[in-house]
Amino acid sequence: MTRKIAIIGDHFILPEVFESELLKTCFEYNLDCRLRLEDWPNSPVTHGYEGAVDVPIREFIGDFDEVTAFIADAEILVMHQSPVTDKMLEKLPKLKFIGCSRGGPVNVDINAANRRGVQVVRAPGRNASAVAEFTIGAILAETRKIRIGHEAMRNGVWRGDLYRADTTGRELNEMTVGVVGYGKIGTRLVKILQAFGCRILVNDPYVQLDPFDIAAGVEQVSLEMLLEQSDVVTLHPRVSHETTQMINKNTLAKMKSEALLVNTARGPLCNYDDLYKALKNGIIGSAMLETFSIEPTPPDWPLLKLDNVTLTPHIAGASVRTAQYAAQVLAADVKNYISGLPLVNLCRS
């Protein structure tokens, strides 16, 4: 029996990468694959809800009608950031399985899919290692004055004063690092941080610490205690009603005046107006921002003008390994689906 598979990739996870992993993993089955390439990240994703209450998806790229026409009579859809809505599913009666290569498939209306008998799987932890490593780099770039020194030399200025006791950076082994969110990324980051010898605080009300982390001296504390005692606060929770704008004027006021805030998670975790005021007025020392409330950021955005902020264009999860691993995870569940075996990474309403 031939299985028709629609594959939609982009310039990060190429459709050929999806296809290659599917053919290797499902070699004993007859797969009929058709491929489509979206222009992300050359073109930005659509954020929000497109102004329509009946389109409860976020962060997607692709025209609804064009994507629907491409999927057509396929039984299986494997993709990265393509939209899947209830109205689209209504026109796709033969679609029974969706593999989305993201940790959280916010571009898929999972409730509608489940209601219509379409199974959805994801790729949890696909970029956990990449983001954890990037976060370490982000912390060091700010605490060890790497960004400041680089910017000065680019402008022809030799900042020898950065060797002075009152301006030089601090080592991680003398600092307290607070990790908010103890999921795939947070747990990976905590294990890397242990090698630096810093004190590590964790806040996540929904999980318990790994016994090995406890043995290593990692402490699970309240958010208030974490903010008050940390020299570095790094954010790694999912966006939810509880975590949206969890960093605001009230929580920022609890932090140390020299503290560094790192956000390599999602923009909605921060109230960026409050953060701008806190950075400008010395409420906290500095910030490293990788994700934003609006992407791309407006060229006149106030935070771009501050000299105590390091900024990158939402690239923490971007690595060659992330793309390959995500494709491998989906291919394994495609094989499970075809074989009639339980799906490992099934999404439920």
Active site residue ranges: 266, 295, 314
86: Cβ contacts below 8 Å, ≥ 6 apart: 54, 109, 112, 116
Q: By the 8 A CB rule, do 81 and 104 touch?
A: no
Segments of 44-166 assigned E as strands: 76-79, 97-100, 119-121
CA-to-CA distance for 346 and 252, rounded, in angstroms? 37
Closest CA to 261 of 172, 129, 143: 143
Phi, psi of 97 (to 5 degrees): -145, 135
Handedness of CA 150, 151, 156, 157 (dihedral sign): negative
CA–CA gap between residue 15 and residue 35 (Å, rounded): 6
